[in-house]
Amino acid sequence: MSYAVIKTGGKQYRVQQGDVLRVELLDAEEGANVSFDQVLLVGSGDAVNVGAPTVAGATVSATVRKHGRADKIRIIKFRRRKHHKKQMGHRQHFTEVEITGINA
């Protein structure tokens, strides 16, 4: 089974064909095909091809399943004895993609 390490949204992911993962928000419609061209590593069995910094000509294709927002994260800043308390919340946008192929 071949695998690859891709970079998108400032993060790196190890993917195989059929994997479903949540990445940072992509500008694509649901059901659209997207291609990741920043492939850092491609492996198949014992053979591993490491890029410097990327593998030339390698792409990973995926299908957009849905867009959404993650669970709310609560941020609390509190200073004791200073009558200071600040609360905030944040929900990060994501795109859920399914890996359809690795072209090395």
Handedness of CA 14, 19, 25, 31 (dihedral sign): positive
> In this predicted structure, what is the pLDDT of residue 45?
86
> In this predicted structure, what is the pLDDT of residue 1?
82
> In this predicted structure, what is the pLDDT of residue 82?
97
> In this predicted structure, what is the pLDDT of residue 95?
97
CA distance 28 to 64: 7
CA distance 104 to 43: 9
Handedness of CA 28, 64, 10, 57 (dihedral sign): negative
E-strand stretches of 9-92:
11-16, 20-24, 33-36, 39-44, 47-50, 59-69, 73-79, 84-90
Residuewise pLDDT in 10s, the chain (104 residues)? 899 999 999 999 999 999 999 999 999 999 999 999 999 999 998 899 998 999 999 999 999 999 999 999 999 999 999 999 999 999 999 999 999 999 98
Single pTM value for the model: 0.85
